[in-house]
């Protein structure tokens, strides 16, 4: 894993956006041109139903709206990465954000055609390495729905431990239903 800095898109402030490179992937700032690929892969109940906020169905307008927010995010508080496969292009997203002040959380999704090949584990591990070395974060939280064993596996393999806490989190794609969510923590 290595991290390099790239210039922001034209019109942005002077801060730079990190790029994290792994053997098969590039984690880079998302851009509006990603919208069609985001909409195509995100419009999948198997993806949206495992996240708190992604709607289903998920259209181009949802992707544009989300990418606009990502572009405006303050990189001191949030890090949003498009996960790009060196051969296949855009395959998913990875986000560090702070749903509660002072509590950085990791979230991600991978498009269904790319499941089961270790990409989420590779992306999460590299992103955490970057967060520790470049972003100076020592504690990262994550929560996965109790019926999402695959994400639990990803988080365990990336070095997270279960805290024992199970909280109810609403899921937009399940009609706002509160879903038991197993909390995990990663310590640098």
- How far lies 57's CA from each of 12, 48, 108, 123, in Å? 31, 8, 18, 26
Minimum Å distance from CB 149 to ligand COA? 3
Of the candidates 53, 138, 153, 163, which one interacts with ligand COA according to CB under 6 A?
153
Q: Considering the complex, state which of residue 5 and residue 103 has its C-beta at the smaller distance from ligand COA.
A: 103
The token duo for 71 is 């572009």
Task: Give the total of residues touching ligand COA (CB under 6 A).
Answer: 21
The interface mask with ligand COA, positions 108-127, x = CB under 6 A, is xxx----xxxxxxx------
Contact window for ligand COA (CB under 6 A) among 12-20, 30-38, 62-70, 146-154: 146-154
Residues at the contact surface with ligand COA, assessed by CB under 6 A: 47, 50-51, 107-110, 115-121, 144, 148-151, 153-154
């Amino acid at each position: 894993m290595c991290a390099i800095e790239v210039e922001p898109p034209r019109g942005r402030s002077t801060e730079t956006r990190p790029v994290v490179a792994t053997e098969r992937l590039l984690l880079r700032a998302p851009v509006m041109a990603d919208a069609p690929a985001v909409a195509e892969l995100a419009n999948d109940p198997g993806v949206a139903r495992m996240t708190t906020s992604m709607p289903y169905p998920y259209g181009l307008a949802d992707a544009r709206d989300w990418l606009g927010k990502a572009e405006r995010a303050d990189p001191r508080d949030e890090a949003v990465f498009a996960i790009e496969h060196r051969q296949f292009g855009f395959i998913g997203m990875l986000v560090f954000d702070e749903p509660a002040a002072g509590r950085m959380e990791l979230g991600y999704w991978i498009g269904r055609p790319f499941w089961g090949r270790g990409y989420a584990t590779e992306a999460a591990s590299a992103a955490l390495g970057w967060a520790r070395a470049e972003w100076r974060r020592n504690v990262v939280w994550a929560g996965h729905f109790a019926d999402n064993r695959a994400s639990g596996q990803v988080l365990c393999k990336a070095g997270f431990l279960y805290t024992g806490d199970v909280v109810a989190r609403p899921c937009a794609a399940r009609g706002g239903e509160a879903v038991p969510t197993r909390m995990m923590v990663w310590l640098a």
